[in-house]
Amino acid sequence: MTDKTAAAAPDDDTPILETTGLVKEFRGFVAVDGVNLKIRRGHIHALIGPNGAGKTTCFNLLTKFLQPTRGTIRFNGRDITRESPQRIARLGLVRSFQISAVFPHLTVLENVRIALQRGLGTTFHFWKSERSLDCLNERAMALLAEVGLEDHARMVAVEMPYGRKRALEVATTLALDPQLMLLDEPTQGMGHEDVDRVMQLIKKVSANRTILMVEHNMKVVSGICDAITVLARGAVLAEGDYATVSANPVVVEAYMGSEAAACAEGAVQ
């Protein structure tokens, strides 16, 4: 059975990603504490919470950069709890990182071609001519068009502003043909103009895909997310759409303290 066959979506009503009792302990410290997640197919789902809530640790568990102490992770109905990061990427679960991870001294086009090269089976054929990758140019340009970078294909990545580097990272992620994209703080460190651009980009590339993202910017979360899971001290505090979680006094308290929570509770009564 091939990876593609094994990863085929069983049912549109089945969560694309589901965790049950997910726990991660570090020498007695519980960083993730019994987290149950259900990520619906086709949704943009945000994982939010105050600093130290366990968001990044949870992301690392989902993408197998960490192994859970207890619990299970299922992707398309398949148990991937003990799979490797490379294996789950081949199954269609692909992650980006907080820090922009592009090859700075290659062109925009070359960055995307490298991501596409896996499909040729020549990733480690270092002696092959660069011209052997020219067959990838059409697909690479299509991906750059999808993220609005087609006019920057020949630009060296290091010369691009930060927001466009993040768009390039999205293009390289799309080159791996993900069913589920995990984006780790995609708008971190951006000005307002770049935040708006990346918001629209995420919305655009979410067509026919599922996105799970860690994000601190509430403008982004409220503007594009279908569902939100709030973490605090490693556990799920609340879930729902933005209107539901933003009106929850327990969520407000976790972010702003008990006095603010009391004000929020009074406002909705």
Summarize pLDDT for 136-158 with one digit per residue, the tens.
899 999 999 999 999 999 999 99
* C-beta separation of 252 from 260 below 8 A: yes
Is this model's pTM higher than 0.85 or not?
Answer: no
Tokens of 167: 């768009």
pLDDT of the residue at 6: 42
Rg of the Cα trace of the chain? 20
Please state, for a pLDDT cut of 90, what percent of the chain lies above it: 51
What's the chain's average pLDDT?
84
Lowest mean pLDDT among 42-56, 180-194, 220-234: 180-194
The SS3 of residue 222 is: helix
Q: Please check the confidence at residue 107 and state whether its pLDDT lies above 50.
A: yes
Tokens of 100: 């922009």
Q: Please check the confidence at residue 2 and state whether its pLDDT lies above 60.
A: no
Highest mean pLDDT among 71-80, 90-99, 179-188: 71-80
* Rounded to 5°, angle at Cα 131 from 130 and 137: 100
Q: Which residues of 115-126 are buried (b: 16+ CB within 10 A; e: fewer)?
A: bbbeeeeeeeee
Q: What is the mean pLDDT of residues 119-137?
A: 57
Q: Please check the confidence at residue 134 and state whether its pLDDT lies above 90.
A: no
pLDDT of the residue at 190: 83
Q: Please check the confidence at residue 202 and state whether its pLDDT lies above 60.
A: yes
Domains of the chain: 3-101+178-268 (3.40.50.300)
Residue with token string 């990733």: 123
